[in-house]
């Protein structure tokens, strides 16, 4: 229950090891709690997923009987009248790729906070005898009977609960709810509108993606766009609360309004959306996710968005998440579905390079991901992505590249640091070399917050710089352990013969 001081990038800090960062620094500096009623424990701002469930329950319960609580104040919020406690989770056991990469074999903050909350809920449950349901993107981690029992959970919901939330809570009250539910929204009209403010003014613009990457659960959802009029109503709730911007959540924002099989962005629909929300008084409109292929397919669209936000005029940089995953043509063809459209599979490396250039030209700071340790990955596959990282350095790319260890939902083929080969380690090293290089670009974006005074900004600068150096130090030690005492410089030299394609012209289609 935090606004991350107005910057979603702080969410990555919650994936780091609990033992490394003092809890008071985490709670007070990076992730202070949202505004909370000191008497009742009611959270004045909550995750958009919780707000969706809250609105769904209002369709069958009196509004006074539905209460969104700050988990740090549960003793104030739960009592003899409590019948059901619903919990939204992102990564409750620290099993997601970012967490397993940032906190290898250690307890992450997000997992620690979940365990701490469940311990309190179990004690309250013994006293008041209520039911506990868990949903959200990380619910799959708890979808086993033994894990549910340990954490005091009665029902786990995997998928989209919008249509079934009300029925589920009725069943939980009666003791008839199943232990595990899988569900998807069939009708976009059944996604309820939020009625109260959300974390960081985040509203959901669309669901689904349709690109079909085989490692991503999102591709199971059909694409659904929410209307501009509805998004304006939801944005108004956050702006009236006091937020000065609007953030659009999506699985692929540049597919909003897209109605063609080639995945060519609908420039008019997206530009109109940005203008419609900016015109409500927001300082800027941000978005959580894009795709490099959509960016490269329509550079003018990125210019339009930047112009609406006045990013060129003010020099404001906004961060957004994009997935690179791999640029090895065989791996792209096998695992990335139609992520490259409207371009061909073999063009993906060039598309990523061109998309990165377009984003930087329009004051967007990419936070990109790469997956390392696919079960079928060869050193040649890793080399292709290493070459891209070398090109990023040459083109002075401004953006984070987060290398993530491959994680299997079945938990059978997940990658671990101890299994990295030389090529995979080199790719990991090149990514963090990039991040160390751009740290001075990242810090102004992260520190752009009116709650920070000069002393706090200096302190934060030191923390972030030290954290990046600590990661590089860890990798140096890992290299010696993995490769018989050899240093990173000795390992990466054989993979540094860049077969650069950055100077090649990208093959483009007539759009």
pLDDT in tens, 186-212: 888 889 999 999 999 999 999 888 787
In terms of Cα–Cα distance, which of 300, 257, 253, 308 is closest to 284?
A: 308
pLDDT of res. 495 = 86
Question: How many angstroms separate the CA atoms of 367 and 383, rounded?
Answer: 21
**Mean pLDDT calculated for residue range 49-55:** 96
- Domain 197-363: CATH architecture, name and number where available: 2-Layer Sandwich (3.30)
Measuring CA to CA, which residue among 372, 406, 324 is closest to residue 95?
406
Question: For the chain, where do the domains classified as CATH 3.30.750.210 start and end?
Answer: 197-363
**Residue 450 binned pLDDT confidence (cut-offs 50, 70, 90):** low
pLDDT at 445: 66
- Side-chain half-sphere of 415: how many Cα atoms within 13 Å? 23
Alpha carbon 334 to its chain centroid, in Å, reads 24
Rounded to whole angstroms, the Cα distance separating 495 from 383 reads 7
Structure-derived torsion over alpha carbons of residues 303, 305, 311, 316, reported in degrees to the nearest 10: -120
Q: What is the rounded CA–CA span in Å between residue 324 and residue 385?
A: 9
Confidence band for 443, pLDDT divided at 50, 70 and 90: low
What residues does CATH 3.40.50.280 cover in the chain?
55-183
CATH code 3.40.980.10 for 55-183: no
pLDDT-derived band at 505 (thresholds 50, 70, 90) equals: very low
Q: What's the CA gap between 284 and 286, in Å, rounded?
A: 6
Residue 40 and residue 270: Cα distance in Å, rounded? Answer: 41
Bridge partners (DSSP) listed for residue 85: 132
Of the given ranges (139-143, 180-184, 461-465, 468-472), which has the lowest mean pLDDT? 461-465
Q: How far apart (Å, rounded) are the C-alpha atoms in residues 323 and 270?
A: 20
Q: Express each pLDDT in 468-503 by its tens digit.
A: 888 888 899 999 999 999 999 999 988 875 444 443
């Amino acid at each position: 229950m935090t606004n991350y001081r107005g910057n979603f990038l702080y969410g990555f800090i919650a994936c780091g090891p609990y033992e490394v960062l003092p809890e008071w620094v985490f709670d007070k500096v990076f992730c202070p709690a949202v505004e909370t009623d000191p008497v009742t424990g009611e959270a004045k701002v909550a995750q958009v997923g919780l707000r969706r469930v809250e609105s769904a329950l209002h369709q069958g319960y009196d509004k006074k009987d539905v209460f969104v609580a700050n988990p740090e104040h549960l003793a104030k919020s739960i009592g003899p009248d409590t019948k059901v406690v619903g919990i939204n989770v992102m990564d409750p056991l620290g099993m997601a790729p970012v967490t397993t990469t940032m906190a290898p074999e250690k307890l992450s903050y997000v997992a620690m906070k979940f365990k701490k909350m469940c311990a309190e809920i179990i004690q309250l449950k013994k006293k008041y005898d209520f039911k506990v349901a868990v949903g959200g993107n990380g619910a799959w981690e708890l979808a086993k009977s033994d894990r549910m029992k340990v954490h005091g959970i009665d029902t786990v919901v995997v998928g989209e609960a919008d249509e079934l939330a009300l029925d589920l809570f009725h069943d939980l009250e009666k003791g008839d709810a199943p232990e595990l539910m899988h569900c998807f929204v069939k009708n976009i009209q059944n996604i309820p509108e939020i009625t109260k403010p959300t974390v960081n003014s985040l509203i959901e613009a669309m669901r689904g993606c349709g690109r079909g990457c085989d490692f991503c659960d999102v591709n199971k959802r059909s694409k659904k766009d929410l209307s501009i009029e509805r998004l304006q109503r939801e944005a108004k709730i956050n702006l009236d609360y006091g937020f000065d911007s609007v953030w659009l959540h999506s699985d692929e924002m540049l597919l909003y309004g897209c109605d063609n099989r080639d995945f060519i962005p609908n420039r008019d629909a997206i530009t109109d959306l940005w203008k419609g929300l900016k015109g409500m008084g927001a300082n800027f409109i941000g978005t959580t996710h894009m795709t490099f292929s959509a960016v490269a397919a329509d550079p003018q669209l990125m210019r339009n968005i930047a112009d609406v936000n006045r990013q060129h005029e003010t020099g404001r940089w906004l961060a957004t998440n994009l997935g690179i995953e791999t640029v090895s043509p065989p791996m792209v063809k096998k695992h990335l579905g139609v992520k490259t459209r409207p371009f061909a599979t073999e063009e993906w490396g060039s598309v990523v390079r061109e998309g990165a250039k377009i984003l930087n030209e329009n004051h967007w700071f990419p936070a990109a991901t790469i997956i390392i340790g696919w079960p079928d990955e060869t050193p040649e596959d890793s080399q292709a992505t290493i070459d891209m990282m070398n090109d990023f350095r040459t083109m002075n790319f401004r953006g984070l590249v987060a290398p993530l260890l491959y994680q299997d939902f079945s938990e059978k083929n997940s990658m671990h640091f101890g299994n990295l080969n030389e090529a995979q380690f080199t790719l990991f090293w090149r990514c963090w070399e990039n991040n160390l290089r751009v740290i001075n670009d990242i810090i102004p974006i992260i520190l752009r917050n009116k709650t920070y005074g000069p002393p706090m900004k200096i302190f934060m600068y030191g923390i972030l710089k030290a954290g990046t150096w600590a990661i590089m130090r860890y990798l140096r030690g890992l290299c010696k352990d993995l490769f018989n005492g050899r240093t990173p410089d000795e390992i990466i030299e054989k993979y540094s013969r860049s077969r650069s394609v950055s100077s090649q012209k990208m093959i483009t289609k007539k759009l």
